[in-house]
Amino acid sequence: MTRRDGGFRGGSRGRSGSRDLRSDTRSVSVTVNYALNLVVATMLIGGVLTATGGMVQDRRESAVRTELSVVGERIAGDLMAADRLAEVGTAGPGADPTVSLSVTLPERVGGTRYDVSVRTSPAVLVLQSDDPEVTVRVGYHHDTPVETTTVRGGNLRIELASDGDLEVVSA
C-alpha cells in the first residue's frame, strides 16, 4: 500500500525512496540497552563494595579491640602478681626483694602495632593500636608504687627497681 506522496505506509522511506535516518531507532535501542546495563552493573558493584568495605573495617576494629583487651588483662594480671611478690618480699626482716616477671605478648594485634601506657592515677593500663586507632583501658590494683611509662607492644618485663617501684619495660 502506498501513500499519496509516493512513500510507503510504514514511513521508512521518504519521497526519493531513500531511508529517513531520523526515524530509524533500531540500532539506538541496542546501544542504549547495552549502556544502561553497564551503568546499572557498575552502580551495583560500587554499592556492594562500599557496603562491604565498611563492614570489614568494623570487624577489624572489633578484632583489634578484643585482642587489646586480652593483652591488657594479661599485663594487669602479671603486674598485680609482681605487686604481690614485692609485698611479700619486703615483709621479712632484712629482705632485699628481687622481682622480675617476663610477659610474652604479641608484637601486633589484628595486624597492627600497639602501645601500652601504665598509669597510676587512676591505676589503669591504656592500650592503643596504630591503625585502626582503637583504645582499650584495663584497670589493675597495686600496693607497691608503679612507675608511669609507655612501652611498645611485644615482650615485656615487670621489674622491681632499686627505688622500690615496679616498672614495666620492653624485653
Q: What are the pLDDT digits (tens) for 55-104?
A: 777 888 999 999 999 999 999 999 999 999 988 875 555 556 688 999 99
Residue 18: which pLDDT band, with cuts at 50, 70 and 90?
Answer: low
More confident position, 73 or 12: 73
Write down the pLDDT at residue 143.
Answer: 93
Each residue of 150-161: pLDDT tens digit?
Answer: 999 999 999 998
The answer as to whether 164 is a domain residue is: yes
Range of the domain at 111: 51-170
What one-character-per-residue DSSP string does the chain give? Answer: -B-TTS-BTTS-B-TTSSB-GGG--HHHHHHHHHHHHHHHHHHHHHHHHHHHHHHHHHHHHHHHHHHHHHHHHHHHHHHHHHHHHHHHHTTSTT-----EEEE---SEETTEEEEEEEEETTEEEEEEESSS--EEEEE---SS-B--EEEESSSEEEEE-TTS-EEEEE-
11 has pLDDT over 60: no
What total number of domains does the chain contain? 1
Domain contains 29: no
pTM over 0.75: no
The more confidently predicted of residues 164 and 90 is 164
Rounded CA-CA distance 98/112 in Å is: 34
95 within some domain:
yes
pLDDT for the residue 9: 53
| Residue 3 counted as domain residue | no
In a domain, 42, yes or no: no
In a domain, 135, yes or no: yes
Look at 1 and 146; give whichever has higher pLDDT.
146
In this predicted model, what pLDDT tens digit does every residue of 43-69 receive, in sequence order? 999 988 888 877 777 888 999 999 999
Q: What angle do CA 160, 165, 167 make, to 5 degrees?
A: 65
Question: Does 32 map to a domain?
Answer: no
Residue 16, pLDDT score? 55
Predicted confidence (pLDDT) per residue in 104-132, tens digit: 999 999 899 999 999 998 999 999 999 89
CA distance 8 to 16: 11
* Residue 15 domain-assigned (yes or no): no
Report how far residue 73's alpha carbon sits from residue 94's, in angstroms, rounded to the nearest whole number: 33
* The predicted structure's pLDDT at residue 40: 94
